[in-house]
Amino acid sequence: MKLSWLSVALLGAGAANALDVISVKGNKFFDSKGKQFFMKGVAYQLTPADPLVDAEQCSRDATLMKTLGANTIRVYHVDPKADHSKCMATFADAGIYTLIDLDTFDTYILPNDPWWNQTQHDRYAEVMDAFIDFNNVLGFFIGNEIIAMANQSQVAPFIKSATRDMKAYRDKKGYRKVPIGYSAADIAELRPMLQDYLTCGGREADNVDFFALNSYEWCDKTTYAVSGYANLQKTAENFPVPIFFSETGCNVPGPRLFDDQEAIFGPEMVNDWSGSIVYEWIEEANHYGLISYGPKVEPTVTGKNIEGGFTRAGTPQPVTPDFENLRSKWATITPKGVASSDYTPTDLSTRACPTSTKDGWLINGNVALPTVGETFQGTFTPTPTANPSDTGSAASPSSTKNPAPPNKEIAGMSIGLVGVMLIFTLWL
């Protein structure tokens, strides 16, 4: 019997819904049976536009990811108008959840010229609409490393505004409460303040549902104390929402041993962290890949599924020894969580909104958030003596700078969007 396109799509959606829904309680993720969920994930972005449209490629990759022991993938960019049902069903069949970024190449929030307008809002909503019905959507990112330098914290209220409005859209539509969070760069001067700011103020509707960190501080061989992870743990203790590594896996000096996974899932960190996403699936010029689809070719070579000197489709071949090192490590790690029925998040730390600092955190307390259409114009000078409406002791930097930032070939790119130009003052 020949099935219609709609029938195929519905069958794919049904298969993708075979997995338990993951939800947030306190600072942990739980499946529908009440078992705590920990991410063992990989970053997955084969092509700039959308890696979740080629059903055959998704099947090849999902099969090997299952062998690796992965249960989550992170996808940075998707086309909301494409059909994702087959790929989502394939990953669900392999027991793999997805984390999807809501921004697209032309809607990314700009750090040095921030605004949040209706065009951005509607495009983010389109991505949510396209994925909300799949049970194996674990969460949405409002952005990735929008703050990439120590002098860009002025954009933080716009990150929070986008989060607020996307959560409101989700709830207005009656959608499942898929958590919405942010993936931050590990900037020592800003990270402690940023993670507190995105969860402060007392209004859950304004705050992120989870906070994720792109960190490459653990470079084998090292230890929990020496790597900087002990410092990351200090600011994560009793955090009000789930916190996890949205990118990790330093490759300096190499090969990668992934010893950090023992710390993340071990007694030092497992009570506060919900796992990690290893960067990345495909081998590229930065040499962070776990697999390749063929030998490197000259950057000038063009052809189907070839970009930047690397083939981006075909039969995935493990990169030696990194793939096997990670597979072996994950195979020996079974994090011990808590049952939802035994967990009452009464001891979590409700963070105060940080005050500005001389090291570059520019937002002083619980500032008013911009509304749709507002654009910031002006310069910033930290004013630690100001009197914000909701102050708290500013957190002090507690980690080293990222020693090995990856040169991401596929990253969030932006073009200017025309919006209502209003002067927005962050200081109260």
Q: Is 324 exposed, middle or buried (0-12, 13-18, 19+ CB in 10 A)?
A: middle
Residue 124: CB atoms within 10 Å:
26
Structure token pair of residue 316: 């995935």
Q: How far apart are CA 66 and CA 72, in angstroms?
A: 10
Residue that the structure tokens 């992870």 belong to? 229
Q: Select which of 189, 217, 247, 284 is catalytic.
A: 247
Q: What pLDDT is attached to residue 409? A: 37
Cα atoms in the 13 Å half-sphere on the side-chain side of 14: 6
User: What CATH number has the domain spanning 5-339?
Assistant: 3.20.20.80
pLDDT averaged per 10 residues in sequence order, the chain, 428 residues: 42 63 98 97 93 97 98 97 98 98 89 91 97 98 95 94 98 98 96 96 96 97 95 96 98 96 97 98 95 84 82 95 98 95 90 90 92 69 34 33 41 29 35
Residue that the structure tokens 């959606």 belong to? 13
Helix (H) or strand (E) holding 122: helix 118-131
Position 284, amino acid: E
Q: Select which of 145, 217, 284, 374 is catalytic.
A: 145
> Do 211 and 181 form a contact (C-beta atoms < 8 A)?
yes
Give me the count of residues in the chain: 428
Claim: this prediction has a pTM higher than 0.75: yes
Structure token pair of residue 394: 């500013």
What secondary structure letter does DSSP report for 3?
A: P
What secondary structure letter does DSSP report for 27?
A: T
What secondary structure letter does DSSP report for 103?
A: -
Cβ neighbors of 286 (< 8 A, separation 6 or more) are 251, 406, 407, 408, 409
Q: How far apart are CA 290 and CA 75, in angstroms?
A: 16
Q: End-to-end CA distance of the chain: give it in Å, rounded.
A: 66
| Pairing label, strands 374-375, 115-116 | antiparallel
For residue 140, CA distances in Å to 101, 205, 369, 389 come to: 6, 15, 21, 30
Q: Domain coordinates of the chain in residue numbers?
A: 5-339
Q: How far apart are CA 136 and CA 16, in angstroms?
A: 6
Q: How far apart are CA 62 and CA 67, in angstroms?
A: 9
Q: How far apart are CA 44 and CA 283, in angstroms?
A: 11
Q: What backbone torsions phi and psi does residue 384 show, to the nearest 5 degrees?
A: -60, -20
Beta-bridge mates of residue 100: 75, 140
Query: What DSSP line would sit under 341-365, residue for residue?
Result: GG----S---PPPPPP-TTS----S
Q: What backbone torsions phi and psi does residue 113 show, to the nearest 5 degrees?
A: -140, 65
* Residue 56 known to be catalytic: no
Structure token pair of residue 80: 């909301």
Residue 132: CB atoms within 10 Å:
16
For residue 32, CA distances in Å to 18, 60, 72, 334, 419 come to: 12, 28, 17, 19, 41
